[in-house]
């Protein structure tokens, strides 16, 4: 069926995506050492789908065409599909220990699919058909699509139309016969650079005055007028070092973020999914956010599995494997990680069928899921740092371990001295293996991948307070008060006995 990882990477070369980093344009961004690890993560979403052992999780039968497609391009047809989504994400988290970016498109597909159905139903528009055609094209070509929601937002107290600069939320600047012209930007875009296509959605519920901001559409990554400015992150340039390997912790995979700028981009009518129906902006946001809060109950759990494994390895390499407090900390890490998984699975199992026919997760439980994600990975990291020991941050560089520079009275080199003093028990591991696992933990706890495992867990798919507001709304406090009134004897009930 779909592309291999390698084919996906080659497919990117056909695009003329414009990427700027450190104040300059990056010509060959596909092979750029800082960007490539993030591309490799996406490649895994393709590669694993070609492996027989992962078919069940990685692919699905399209309800649109009846063909087998990558699950990331699938419309969920059952709660079983929703659970498989979470399991696919856990699998990919385990295989990359990073963000693999393709969920955001999948979550957009499912949210846009069901919302456009209801928009059309009310307004007689044609968005749902537009979207179905678009998704067939995506499925057919096995494309990755960045789902973009978050605008720069400016002053948070003001509505989109009331901002000092009208572009702080993406909006329609011109309406033509054949389409629209849009301007603005989407911030914090993890998967934008590595995607073939983009699907844009509004970021908040809107009123009538925000009509021009209530817009959803799709476009290719290299559409005229679109460019990206790269965000810089912890330890980014370590990847630029000569022969960098051990010091990277995770040499193959990584993450990134970019600002995607829409500099008067033209969108043809057939790629428009919302265009002024402001009263549906809220539904689209809520459904997308719901799916995406579910997602974290899969991907971050997979990364957590690797962190737990690394901490266990570090303990073994440090000779502390049998200490009861180490065992107990590993249990606690596992317990927290599986609690997150429970939330991901539960909001899936309790999913429901939309009017359009695809399945939506349980909104309350998905928000509970994400709220826990803003807490537990931090504690897992703290415990990992505890188990790893101080060496994680005091260890000399790979270049020291490999240096031939003589420093000792008996002609010992820097490399030999490093190996002498940081050497592990040879029965268990080599010094390099010990370095490798500690550098991976450095990477995930406070290096490049900490952005993905910690900060993204905090703010991705909405900051903690956003979930609390949803939990408050969905928690049915009035119903609970009535339960209490009955038990406390305030509301009298005759139970018949």
Catalytic site positions: 99, 103, 190, 257, 292, 296, 299, 456
Return all residues near 258 (Cβ < 8 A) that are at least 6 apart.
19, 189, 192, 193, 228, 229, 230, 231
Closer to a second copy by CB, 64 or 458: give it. 458
Closer to a second copy by CB, 177 or 404: give it. 404
The Cα 203–Cα 55 span in angstroms is 34
Local structure of 482: helix, strand or coil: helix
Closer to a second copy by CB, 218 or 235: give it. 235
Closer to a second copy by CB, 102 or 128: give it. 102
Closer to a second copy by CB, 270 or 432: give it. 432
Closer to a second copy by CB, 279 or 332: give it. 332
State which of positions 363-382 bind a second copy (CB under 8 A). Answer: 364-365, 368-369, 371-372, 374-375, 378-379, 382
The Cα 304–Cα 313 span in angstroms is 14
Closer to a second copy by CB, 113 or 376: give it. 376
Element (H or E) spanning 382, and its range? helix 376-388
For every residue of 146-184, which 3-state class applies, written as one string?
Answer: EEECCCCCCCCCCCHHHCCCHHHCCEEEEECCCEEEEEE
Q: In whole angstroms, how far apart are CA 446 and each of 145, 337, 399?
A: 29, 19, 21
Q: Considering only the stretches 58-66, 125-133, 268-276, 480-488, report the one whose residues sit in contact with a second copy under the rule CB under 8 A.
A: 480-488
Q: Which of 245, 252, 172, 175 is nearest to 213 (CA)?
A: 172
Local structure of 234: helix, strand or coil: coil
Give the side-chain half-sphere CA count within 13 A for 363: 19
490 binds a second copy (CB under 8 A): yes
State which of positions 455-474 bind a second copy (CB under 8 A). Answer: 455-456, 458-460, 463-465, 468, 471-472
Q: Considering only the stretches 66-74, 137-145, 185-193, 212-220, report the one whose residues sit in contact with a second copy under the rule CB under 8 A.
A: 185-193
The Cα 237–Cα 233 span in angstroms is 9
Binding mask 198-217 for a second copy (x = CB under 8 A): --------------------
State which of positions 220-249 bind a second copy (CB under 8 A). Answer: 225, 227, 229-235, 237-238, 241, 245-247, 249
27 binds a second copy (CB under 8 A): no
State which of positions 315-354 bind a second copy (CB under 8 A). Answer: 316, 318-320, 323-325, 327-328, 330-331, 334-335, 338-339, 341-350
Local structure of 393: helix, strand or coil: helix
State which of positions 413-432 bind a second copy (CB under 8 A). Answer: 414-415, 417-418, 420-423, 425, 429
**In DSSP terms, which residues pair with 261 in a beta bridge?**
185, 227
400 binds a second copy (CB under 8 A): yes
409 binds a second copy (CB under 8 A): yes
301 binds a second copy (CB under 8 A): no
- Cα angle 234, 379, 44 (rounded to 5 degrees) comes to 55
Q: Considering only the stretches 4-12, 112-120, 136-144, 205-213, report the one whose residues sit in contact with a second copy under the rule CB under 8 A.
A: 4-12
Structural contact between residues 439 and 246, judged by C-beta atoms closer than 8 angstroms: yes
Q: How far is CA 57 from the centre of its chain?
A: 18
Which residue among 26, 34, 44, 73 contacts a second copy (CB under 8 A)? 44
Taking the chain, what is the end-to-end CA distance rounded to the nearest angstrom? 64
Which residue among 2, 5, 147, 298 contacts a second copy (CB under 8 A)? 5
Residues in binding contact with a second copy, number by CB under 8 A: 172
489 binds a second copy (CB under 8 A): yes
Give the side-chain half-sphere CA count within 13 A for 295: 25
The Cα 474–Cα 470 span in angstroms is 6
State which of positions 245-274 bind a second copy (CB under 8 A). Answer: 245-247, 249-253, 257-259, 261, 263-264
State which of positions 68-107 bind a second copy (CB under 8 A). Answer: 79, 83, 94-97
State which of positions 130-169 bind a second copy (CB under 8 A). Answer: 150, 152, 154-157, 165, 167-168
57 binds a second copy (CB under 8 A): no
Q: Which tokens belong to 15?
A: 């695009």
- Provide, rounded to whole angstroms, the least separation between the CB of residue 116 and a second copy: 28
Closer to a second copy by CB, 119 or 223: give it. 223
CA dihedral sign, ordered 156, 161, 166, 168: positive
1 binds a second copy (CB under 8 A): no
């Amino acid at each position: 069926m779909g592309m291999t990882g390698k084919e996906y990477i080659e497919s990117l070369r056909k695009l003329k995506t414009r990427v700027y980093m450190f104040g300059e344009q990056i010509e060959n961004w596909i092979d750029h050492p800082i960007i490539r690890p993030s591309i490799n993560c996406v490649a895994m979403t393709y590669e694993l789908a070609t492996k027989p052992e992962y078919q069940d999780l990685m692919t699905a039968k399209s309800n649109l065409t009846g063909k087998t497609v990558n699950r990331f391009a699938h419309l969920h047809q059952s709660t079983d599909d929703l659970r498989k989504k979470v399991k696919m994400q856990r699998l990919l988290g385990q295989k990359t220990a990073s963000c693999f970016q393709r969920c955001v498109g999948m979550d957009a597909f499912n949210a846009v699919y069901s919302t456009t159905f209801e928009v059309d139903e009310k307004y007689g528009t044609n968005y749902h058909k537009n979207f179905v055609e678009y998704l067939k094209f995506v499925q057919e070509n096995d494309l990755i699509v960045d789902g973009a929601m978050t605008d720069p937002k400016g002053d948070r107290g003001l509505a989109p139309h009331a901002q000092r600069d009208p572009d702080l939320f993406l909006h329609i600047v011109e309406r033509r016969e054949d389409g629209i012209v849009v301007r603005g930007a989407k911030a914090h875009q993890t998967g934008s650079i590595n995607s073939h296509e983009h699907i844009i959605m509004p970021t908040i519920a809107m009123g009538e005055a925000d009509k021009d901001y209530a817009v959803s559409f799709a476009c290719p990554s290299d559409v005229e007028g679109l460019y990206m400015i790269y965000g810089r992150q912890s330890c980014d340039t370590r990847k630029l070092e000569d022969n960098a390997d051990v010091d990277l912790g995770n040499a193959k995979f990584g993450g990134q973020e970019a600002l995607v700028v829409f500099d008067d981009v033209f969108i043809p009518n057939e790629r428009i999914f919302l265009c002024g129906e402001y009263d549906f902006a809220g539904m689209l946001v809520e459904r997308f956010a719901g799916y995406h809060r579910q997602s974290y109950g899969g991907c971050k759990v997979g990364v957590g599995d690797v962190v737990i494994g690394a901490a266990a390895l570090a303990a073994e390499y440090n000779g502390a494997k049998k200490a009861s407090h180490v065992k107990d900390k590993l249990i606690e890490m596992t317990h927290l990680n599986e609690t997150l998984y429970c939330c991901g699975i539960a909001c899936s199992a309790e999913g429901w069928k939309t009017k359009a026919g695809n399945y939506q997760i349980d909104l309350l439980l998905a928000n509970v899921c994400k709220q826990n994600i803003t807490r537990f990975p931090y504690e897992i990291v703290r415990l990992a740092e505890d188990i790893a020991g101080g060496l994680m941050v005091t260890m000399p560089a790979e270049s020291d371990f490999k240096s031939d520079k003589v420093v000792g009275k008996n002609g010992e080199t820097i490399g030999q001295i490093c190996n002498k003093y940081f050497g592990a028990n040879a029965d268990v591991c080599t010094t390099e293996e010990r370095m490798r696992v500690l550098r991976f933990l450095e990477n995930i706890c406070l290096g490049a991948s900490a952005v993905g495992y910690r900060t993204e867990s905090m703010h991705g798919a909405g900051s903690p307070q956003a979930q609390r507001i949803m939990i408050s709304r969905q928690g049915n406090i009035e119903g609970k008060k009535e339960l209490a009134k009955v038990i406390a004897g305030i509301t009298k009930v005759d139970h018949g006995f």
